[in-house]
Structure 1
């Protein structure tokens, strides 16, 4: 039985974080329970300026420990870890993406197959999709170190071995080609594209995030000597030539070539200015349905663009 059904009581609780109604993190974090599930989190938990238990979200080790605890307690994933410098995704937001995909596909549809483009070293989208809904997932990446790390996570969790497989993208100029096999069909593809055009741009973005975190907590300007450690990304996880705009353009164009082998192509779009030109391109490519799905996380609004040729 899927985790989402085992936790149906959470749907009746008031929503506080603006997340999807089925998201288990609408109530915030139960730090005592999380520490019990993952004792390594304990040294990072302390009262914040408001007297509530929290962690220092600009500390990469604290965020990684929180992620491991959340995956352990809520999704039955043990021994989750990522290499130093790898992208450490916020679990509530990533779970939201998966819940919205379930709504897009229809909760009643059995045997969903999902492709994660650029699964990274964290493998978080397939991990959540497998554990929440029992979907069959394929994660692809161009980085051998990232795939090796996810392979270790899968090996440490026997329930994942039959639902989460990995594929290497050998050509950085392609996205679906070399990954989707002949005669194969996916119900949905998901993607968290690299959103910076260069390492320098990624560093600036990391410094900005750190300072915003500090300011939101009433703290002084954050120490940004090593921002790549705080918001790391193994190469293509955070930046690529042309940034998000060029990557999404390539994603859209190549999706047309596999239009009969995937029902819904989807991607996070972090920059709102990229939505309109991408929508225009997708329509020109012949998509018959295009949807913009907004996701609210506190004061932050992100969006997923979904399109289908079927």
Structure 2
């Protein structure tokens, strides 16, 4: 039973699930529905309506002393779920341990054939119930179950017309104030939804139990959402005739729109809960127009409050402490002890992260800090990191005007130099396998640097020219750059100009010999 640990704290089945082997030995009508596996485990087929009915009747007889009869054609309730609802209503209206002389009154909308809520409420707490029912078969079985358990003085079962909820049921009792109402509404709007053809996620496993409810028990116009909205509409007219209005929900998606509806209608007190049992979860919604009622916290909020907060702790190695101590001494810190050094470094890190922190009193050999993040600096970290890396990779670019002027100057200087050059045919270098340039160009030191700078900034020289330039440079002597100079986009250094002049003279001598 996966969800039993989240049952209501007072549910008797939370820590002690039903013992099928014991019940089978005591009740022959239940024994015929159980099966013993090869490992000796006693199991029950929950897809068999007869087996589910036998289990419900057996548990009510064993644990509550109730004898009931339920037709297989109508809804067969599970006892742990109904008991969860009863205990939650106890939380809403307050338990009667101190004063059981105060009679609590409740209404069960659509009590069903089993009449299980009034039977449990009257047996456990002595509550008085007005139980309504629209189906003839359910009405007859409910009256019979009340009478055979001698609870007619506490439970009144009334037959009401279709679509009757609260308004018509309370016409005859106009002066009575009820403490609560309960309702297990029809969950589905049509047959397709009831058979989970168009609503159930195909990835979910099939239900582990059978649905035996009649048409009026499982289906209503608009499903449970519209059904509960009709109860809300009645409550807006009745208001303080009931201290608490409540409904159970079969689908979690119905909870949010119903809470929104109550908010729009200005209902002052609203709460909800979860009913967990076996592999089934249900939800419940309650609201009140009274200001003095105690509103139980939702289970999700309780779990958050009850969840222990573990302190953030970490171990610091002795070698790390020694290294930190050396750094602290170099920075002139007064911290001497290891724990003081670690604390100082942690506080520095928190300060750099813009995290507020203050020291909290603690033991002699420990340090405790209370930290508060005042700025959300942890979202989109990967995107910010990629942006920084991209900015580092990008080189600064010159303005378009500067690049255009450099390009025009380079073109004019090339045209002047080409007029004075002698033309040479292409020759194949036998050793390296590169094609020699069509003709050599005489460049001054300034021309050389200007061309190199423009090429570095524009990144537009074709690959063939780079290979030819590498071959030409391989035949030339290695230029020597002055200290502190670099072959970059900055202004040429004097030593760089001298080096380029030397290379140019040697180049001129080679060109003369070629001509």
Q: TM-score, normalised by structure 1?
A: 0.83
How far apart are the structure 1 equivalents of 2:138 and 2:227? 19
1:166 to partner: Cα distance: 0.6
Give yes or no for the alignment of 1:154 onto 2:146: yes
Aligned residues: 277
1:192 to partner: Cα distance: 0.6
Contact map agreement 2:4 2:277 (CA 8 A) in 1:
no
Counterpart for residue 248 of structure 2: 268
Give yes or no for the alignment of 1:77 onto 2:66: yes
Counterpart for residue 45 of structure 2: 56
Contact map agreement 2:115 2:146 (CA 8 A) in 1:
no
Give yes or no for the alignment of 1:281 onto 2:261: yes
Counterpart for residue 25 of structure 1: 13
Structure 1 gaps of 5+ residues are 1-14, 215-229
Output aligned runs, 1:134-213, within 5 Å: 134-158=126-150, 160-170=151-161, 172-180=162-170, 181-204=173-196, 211-213=206-208
1:101 to partner: Cα distance: 0.7
1:252 pairs, out of 211, 232, 239, with: 232
Greater C-alpha Rg: 2
Contact map agreement 2:4 2:276 (CA 8 A) in 1:
no
1:183 to partner: Cα distance: 1.0
Contact map agreement 1:188 1:266 (CA 8 A) in 2:
yes
1:39 to partner: Cα distance: 2.3
Contact map agreement 2:23 2:30 (CA 8 A) in 1:
yes
1:88 pairs, out of 76, 84, 92, with: 76
Counterpart for residue 236 of structure 1: 216
Give yes or no for the alignment of 1:68 onto 2:63: no
Give yes or no for the alignment of 1:308 onto 2:288: yes
More displaced stretch, 243-252 vs 26-35: 26-35
Q: Which stretches of structure 1, 4 residues or longer, exceed 6 Å deviation after superposition? A: none
1:197 to partner: Cα distance: 0.5
Q: Secondary structure at the match of 2:206?
A: helix
How far apart are the structure 1 equivalents of 2:118 and 2:25? 25
Give the superposed CA RMSD. Answer: 2.3
Query: Compared with structure 1, are the counterparts of its residues 49 and 119 closer, same or farther at alpha carbon in structure 2 (3 Å cutoff)?
Result: farther
Structure 2 gaps of 5+ residues are 291-515
1:282 to partner: Cα distance: 1.4
1:34 to partner: Cα distance: 2.6
How far apart are the structure 1 equivalents of 2:136 and 2:217? 13
Structure of greater relative contact order (alpha carbons < 8 Å, 6+ residues apart): 1
1:36 to partner: Cα distance: 5.3
Output aligned runs, 1:91-130, within 5 Å: 91-108=79-96, 110-130=102-122
How far apart are the structure 2 equivalents of 1:262 and 1:16? 32
Query: Compared with structure 1, are the counterparts of its residues 18 and 155 closer, same or farther at alpha carbon in structure 2 (3 Å cutoff)?
Result: same
